[in-house]
Amino acid sequence: MLIKNGTLVTSKGLQKADIYIELGKIREIKKTISNKGAEKTIDATGLHVLPGMIDSHVHLRDFKEVLKEDFFSGTSAALAGGVTSVIDMPNNSLPTISMEALAAKKYVASKKALCNYGFNFGATLNNFEEASKALVDTSVASLKIYMGSSTGSLLVDDFSAFYKHLQNFKGKPILLHAEDEHAIRHFSKQHLGENQKSNGIDSQNSLSDARKSQNMDIDLQADSSKKPISAQVHGKIRNSHVAELAVSRAISSAQKTNAKIHICHVSTQKELELIHAARKKIKITCEVSPHHLFLDESYAKKLGNYAKVNPPLRSKSEIAYLWQALRSGKIDMIATDHAPHLREEKELPYLQAPSGMPELDTALLLFLDAVSKKQLSLPQLANLYSKAPAKLFGLKNKGEIAVGKDADLVLVNLKSKTKIKSENLFTKCHWSAYEGITANGKIMKTILGGKIAFDEGSVLARIGDGTELKFRA
């Protein structure tokens, strides 16, 4: 394949050049490459060519949650969003907390995935042996620990279990959902009253709750004297202190154990200040998710439970800080936290509605729009959403447009616009918190291993085109 006349986004900046691809790899990059009989030539005049995005935080569901998403629909959404590699999170049902579950996930992914995929392994209160086996499995990118409850059943709220995982899992990063469970419980009681549970572990029953609620109209009417709890309470329960506490505890434990930690979905200035100060002492990285940059807390009022996410949406001033931190290198990478849930679940009352929102289809588009508004440069974007995750997880052939690297690329048009509409999304849940937004930018083509995998609205990839990622073992 030959890609002609594009503007390449490389770590050295923008460069007008042609790319020659052979056997799935970038073979040559030059000002002009004459057609050496390439089977396909793409005219990229007026387009920017970026490395394929690498999304290390996606929840592809499948198994018992196949109605929400599976490896086929989730990786379709990825390719449509310019993402060529995804790393699945373990909190889905089936949770990836044993080697047996990992094998089942690998099997399903091999039968359904359209882009490259890998797995984050989940920590429980006692799966230390399984975690040490996962550590040496090349399909495993990291160990994920939920310090606070979120969607799903995974939670390590016991200090000794947390500490032991940090001591044992050495060599690969440990990813943290950093919200302090004790603080969540405290603020839940304060804002909801003694008997109300927060939205963590109970929300895994939301699918059956959604079904039940259709037959519950009479009960609900009988109970209508009770004022429904507004979804806006979510931000009060999981306030910035909840995140700050967990990050601070994680840092001090990492310092004692020498663990390499990565803070998922940072959303506050306080977390970033702690992380920044800790960089001198420990190996620590962090990611930000699109919703914490593009949606402020007022969306909790506008969208109700559709905007319910952990950590919650924050204030405009927190968001301003996040953007500045993203530009100045205080945030290492972008990862979407693509967390699809069904509309019928999001329509449940606040307490039963699960947390999380879909992102894969739309993330790159939103960041292209941010580029058009000068909030970020294209090289910064490519670095944050491709090169940095490749580096953290040791994917040495990915993350950059350079000779010898895998030919995973995305061609975008910054002069075109895209209106986000749920009917155009590939995620199975078919809704978006960004519905109706018109982004400056359009994803024209996604190239995976030297083949066109997405082309102006259509996913062309076939099962088997994506491969299992190989992480440092």
The span from the CA of 113 to the CA of 363, in Å, is: 19
**Residue corresponding to tokens 């572990």:** 201
- Asked if 310 touches ligand NCD (CB under 6 A), the answer is yes
Terminal-residue alpha carbon distance, the chain: 32
* Binding test (CB under 6 A) with ligand NCD, winner from 18, 20, 56, 59: 59
Residue 242 makes CB contacts below 8 A (sequence gap 6+) with 148, 179, 180, 183, 184, 187, 311
**Residue corresponding to tokens 């970038």:** 26
- Asked if 76 touches ligand NCD (CB under 6 A), the answer is no
Contact 242, 249 (CB under 8 A): no
* Binding test (CB under 6 A) with ligand NCD, winner from 49, 309, 407, 412: 309
Phi, psi at 49, each rounded to 5°: -110, 120
To Zn ion, the closest distance from the beta carbon of 178 in angstroms equals 8
* Binding test (CB under 6 A) with ligand NCD, winner from 73, 75, 85, 91: 91
Can you say whether the dihedral through the CA atoms of 48, 49, 51, 54 is positive or negative? positive
- Asked if 235 touches ligand NCD (CB under 6 A), the answer is no
- Asked if 339 touches ligand NCD (CB under 6 A), the answer is yes
* Binding test (CB under 6 A) with ligand NCD, winner from 152, 389, 441, 450: 152
Residue 369 partner contact from Zn ion, ligand NCD, none using kind-dependent CB cut-offs of 5 to 8 Å:
none
**From residue 101, how far is each of 75, 85, 93, 466 by CA, in Å?**
20, 21, 10, 21
- Asked if 337 touches Zn ion (CB under 5 A), the answer is yes
Residue 109 partner contact from Zn ion, ligand NCD, none using kind-dependent CB cut-offs of 5 to 8 Å:
none
- Asked if 151 touches ligand NCD (CB under 6 A), the answer is yes
Residue 309 partner contact from ligand NCD, Zn ion, none using kind-dependent CB cut-offs of 5 to 8 Å:
ligand NCD
To ligand NCD, the closest distance from the beta carbon of 143 in angstroms equals 15
To ligand NCD, the closest distance from the beta carbon of 445 in angstroms equals 30
- The nearer residue to ligand NCD, 58 or 134, going by C-beta atoms, is 58
- Number of neighbours of residue 264 by Cβ within 10 angstroms: 24
Q: What mask, x for binding Zn ion by CB under 5 A, covers residues 131 to 150?
A: -------------------x
Contact 90, 120 (CB under 8 A): yes
To ligand NCD, the closest distance from the beta carbon of 282 in angstroms equals 23
| Burial of 107 from C-beta contacts in 10 A (0-12 / 13-18 / 19+) | exposed
The span from the CA of 254 to the CA of 261, in Å, is: 7
- Asked if 182 touches Zn ion (CB under 5 A), the answer is yes
**Residue corresponding to tokens 């663990």:** 259
**From residue 153, how far is each of 105, 146, 150, 164, 201 by CA, in Å?**
17, 9, 8, 20, 5
The span from the CA of 160 to the CA of 246, in Å, is: 15
The span from the CA of 342 to the CA of 88, in Å, is: 19
- The nearer residue to Zn ion, 269 or 355, going by C-beta atoms, is 355
User: Which of 347, 330, 88, 25 is closest to 207 using CA atoms?
Assistant: 347
- The nearer residue to ligand NCD, 291 or 405, going by C-beta atoms, is 291
- The nearer residue to ligand NCD, 243 or 364, going by C-beta atoms, is 243
- Asked if 234 touches Zn ion (CB under 5 A), the answer is no
Binding-site residue total for ligand NCD (CB under 6 A)? 13
* Binding test (CB under 6 A) with ligand NCD, winner from 130, 287, 337, 359: 337
| Burial of 157 from C-beta contacts in 10 A (0-12 / 13-18 / 19+) | middle
Binding-site residue total for Zn ion (CB under 5 A)? 4
- Asked if 355 touches ligand NCD (CB under 6 A), the answer is yes
- Asked if 177 touches Zn ion (CB under 5 A), the answer is yes
**Residue corresponding to tokens 């500490």:** 163
To ligand NCD, the closest distance from the beta carbon of 377 in angstroms equals 28
Residue 151 partner contact from ligand NCD, Zn ion, none using kind-dependent CB cut-offs of 5 to 8 Å:
ligand NCD
- Asked if 291 touches Zn ion (CB under 5 A), the answer is no
Choices 144-152, 397-405, 413-421, 453-461; region in contact with ligand NCD by CB under 6 A: 144-152
The span from the CA of 375 to the CA of 203, in Å, is: 36
| Beta-ladder partners of 385 | none
Which residues make up the interface to Zn ion (CB under 5 A)?
150, 177, 182, 337
Which residues make up the interface to ligand NCD (CB under 6 A)?
59, 91, 150-152, 177, 309-310, 337, 339, 354-356
